[in-house]
Amino acid sequence: MLDIAIDRKTYPDRAGAPHLALAGLHLTAAPGEFVCVVGPSGCGKSTLLNVVGGLDRDVEGRVRLAGADSAHDIGFMFQEPRLMPWLTVLENVLLVTDASPAARQRARELLVAMGLADVLDAYPGRLSGGMQRRVALARAFVIEPKLLLMDEPFVSLDVPTANRLRAMLVEQWQRSRATVLFVTHDLREALALADRICFLSAAPGRVVLELPLTLARPRAPDGAAVQALHAELLARHPELLAGLTSDPHETQDE
């Protein structure tokens, strides 16, 4: 369903010379598959999502998304929740919809499912960091995306808050059956979420290893099954883990 082949993606460096961010990157995802992209800082993960999402078209290569008619089929969630401070929680979610009665209904249902029923009319400034991410998660799903692009969406949250958000994400993903491309440099997070992990090399990024996962869900990043797999991977592929953060650097309180 999703077929990515990026031959070259460059940025101009300070002197204006091309700086290679991605090269020879091939990646596919089946409909409804949850794919995590893991790689060291600066290997091109955000660049990849920007290219796949059509936010950056200055690239040599192609991205095919079968069955998607428009940008409305692609949902995004970034490191920052990116909520409009002058809009209420409900209005922030409706912003990406046609605001039809059906969309309003869906937005409310998603926000209720995320435990936000009491703050539908509140402004984001009143909400904790974890609650703001839940609004962003509802906004990502409200358009019923065929493809969901997630760029370290749970970074800098405390561990229980991040785990709760991951569980909400998996629940919504299982309902929607969207294809997910989830970027992280936290291997335990990837092991807890993915159907398949694609490891990128250091810059310029390309896929150097694909790891299908068959662990039953739900999986906790600090659960025994994930820990065992993490240890096994560490032993088998120490080179891949150089530069990766395996402990979540989670600081913000719910």
Ligand X SMILES: Nc1ncnc2c1ncn2[C@@H]1O[C@H](COP(=O)(O)OP(=O)(O)OP(=O)(O)O)[C@@H](O)[C@H]1O
Residue 9 and residue 22 in contact, taking contact as beta carbons nearer than 8 Å: yes
Nearest to 97 by CA among 114, 72, 79: 72
Q: Which residues pair with 60 in a beta bridge?
A: 8
Residue among 45, 133, 134, 230 that touches ligand X (CB under 6 A): 45
Judged by CB under 6 A, the residue of 8, 32, 46, 97 near ligand X is: 46
The length of the chain in residues reads 254
Distances (CA, A) of 106 to 67, 100, 111, 175, 193: 22, 10, 9, 13, 24
Return d(Cα 103, Cα 39) in angstroms, integer.
36
By the rule CB under 6 A, 249 interacts with ligand X:
no
Helices (H) and strands (E) in the chain, counts: 8, 9
Interaction with ligand X in 15-34: which residues (CB under 6 A)? Answer: 19, 21
244 sits near ligand X (criterion: CB under 6 A): no
Cβ atoms 94, 165 nearer than 8 A: no
Q: Is 43 in the site for ligand X (CB under 6 A)?
A: yes
Between 168 and 186, name the residue whose CB sits nearer to ligand X.
186
Distance CA 203, CA 26 (A): 15
**DSSP helix/strand/coil, 88:** coil
Q: How far is the CB of 225 from ligand X (least distance, A)?
A: 26
CB of 6 to ligand X, least distance (A): 12
Number of residues counted as binding ligand X (CB under 6 A): 13
Member of 7, 11, 126, 160 binding ligand X (CB under 6 A): 11
Q: Where does this chain touch ligand X (CB under 6 A) — which range of 35-43, 81-89, 138-146, 225-233?
A: 35-43
Q: Does 36 bind ligand X (CB under 6 A)?
A: no
- Pick from 42, 61, 129, 223: which binds ligand X (CB under 6 A)? 42
Q: Distance of alpha carbon 155 from its chain centroid, rounded?
A: 11
Q: Does residue 185 bind ligand X (CB under 6 A)?
A: yes
Minimum CB distance to ligand X smaller for 6 or for 135: 6
Closer to ligand X at the Cβ: 19 or 62? Answer: 19
Q: Is 108 in the site for ligand X (CB under 6 A)?
A: no
Question: Is 248 a residue that touches ligand X (CB under 6 A)?
Answer: no
β-pairing, 147-151 with 179-184? Answer: parallel
From CA 127, how far away is CA 116, in angstroms rounded? 10
Q: Choose the binding region for ligand X from 42-50, 61-69, 91-99, 131-139 (rule: CB under 6 A).
A: 42-50
DSSP 43: S
Binding site for ligand X (CB under 6 A): 11, 19, 21, 39, 41-47, 185, 203
